[in-house]
Chain A
Amino acid sequence: MTVLDILQYPDERLKQSSKTVEIFDQTLKDFVTDLEETRLAGPGAVGIAAPQVGCARRLVIVDVSQLKKPVDNHGYLLLINPEITKWQGMEKGREGCLSVPDYTGNVIRAESIRIRFQNIEGEWIEFDSGGYEARAIQHELDHLDGMLFLDRLVSRRSDLFTRKTYKK
């Protein structure tokens, strides 16, 4: 197992689109192991995308099951050739990224999504995700198209009134 180097912006590779994963073999499994090792070595990241370590393939890992404040989740997710097939709602949330150290900013994401992807055996799976996990998935999928959360920043001064509120 190897902890890989994480690319940081302005590395141009972060702005490139990634290619479809076509071969599901031991090399892929070894890469996934290293990618997860790299995620866990960082400062509490809930996701990582292959292009963040310089591998331009459509593959991400998301795991929001270990947060201090628990959220709905599907545990450890390896999403290969993922695509979002449905979106619903909009919500503002704050995001940071391993590839953009020392900055967090507000981003609008879909509140809930349906995600379709292949697992490590190449089998297609589809399910619904919402809230924080859906946000993490959308953040990671953006990396596959050369998008960073910086491309989606909204001004703090154009505030949206958020929906989940605790009324006084």
Chain B
Amino acid sequence: MKKWSLITLVGADQAGIVAQVTQILAADDCELGETSMVRMGGSFSMMLRVRHDDMDLGALLKGICESLNLHLHVDEDVASNCEETDPDVNITVYGADRSGIVAEVTAILADAGLNIIDLETAVAGTADKPIYIMTIEGQALQGVDALTEAAKKISKGIELNIVPIQTLRA
């Protein structure tokens, strides 16, 4: 009986991590579903939904984790059903970097009904004048107007743009 697990791997970035890890999984008939694989700073992170026979994924990946110095975490028996949830709002945020931007913005927007589907952030600018940039795709559960209204409470110096997404179905 096949089941789904979620594998998380993190380690120092180097060329070939994805190819080596996925070849081992493929060789043992592990099928990939949705995945996120991204370099963050000097680290590379992978989260892989995997459909597989009853087996010890930790043991399967032990060798490669040691040779590439990756940290491994396996969540077994995660849900098999994963219907895509379409975002209906896109939010971009940026400002001079300081601690607490994500906490402040997401708390205010969560109160106004924002369900985050995808959020990523980056630090740009120069070392002495860093800029913090965040993009969010989510669902405006109380409507986009509620988010726009709530955004007025966000501190000065943080620029925020809220754009409705009207998905084309054709």
Contact = CB atoms under 8 A, between A and B. Distances in A.
A102 B166 contact: no
Interface in A3-61: 43-48
Contacts of A46: 168-170
Interface in B144-170: 144, 148, 151-152, 154, 160-170
B66 interface: no
Interface residues of B, number: 27
A94 B144 CA distance: 17
Interface stretch (B4-12, B23-31, B41-49, B82-90): B82-90
B83 A102 contact: yes
Given A156-B118, A168-B160, A96 B170 contact: yes
A95 B137 contact: no
Contact of A165 (B135, B137, B161, B165): B161
B107 interface: no
Given A104-B84, A161-B92, A136 B170 contact: yes
Nearest to A62: B170
Contacts of B144: 166
B168 A93 contact: yes
Nearest to A167: B161
B127 to A, nearest CB: 24
A160 to B, nearest CB: 10
A96 B87 CA distance: 12
B168 A132 contact: yes
B151 A104 contact: no
A105 B125 CA distance: 29
A72 B135 CA distance: 28
Interface string B56-95: 0000000000000000000000000001101100101000
Interface string A103-135: 110000000000000000000000000001001
Nearest to A98: B170
Contacts of B128: none
Contacts of A45: 169-170
Contact of B161 (A94, A135, A161): A161
A95 to B, nearest CB: 4
Contacts of A69: 164, 166
A117 B120 CA distance: 43
Contacts of A47: 170
A104 B166 CA distance: 11
A140 B154 CA distance: 41
Chain A CB within 10 Å — which of B118, B135, B163, B168 has the most? B168
Contact of B168 (A135, A157, A162, A167): A135
A95 B167 contact: yes
10 contacts: A45-B170, A46-B168, A71-B166, A104-B84, A104-B167, A139-B170, A161-B92, A162-B163, A168-B151, A168-B154
- Leading 4 A-B pairs by shortest Cβ distance: A47-B170, A168-B151, A165-B161, A94-B167
Given A104-B86, A168-B160, 10 more contacts: A43-B169, A46-B168, A132-B168, A136-B168, A136-B170, A164-B163, A165-B161, A165-B163, A166-B163, A168-B151
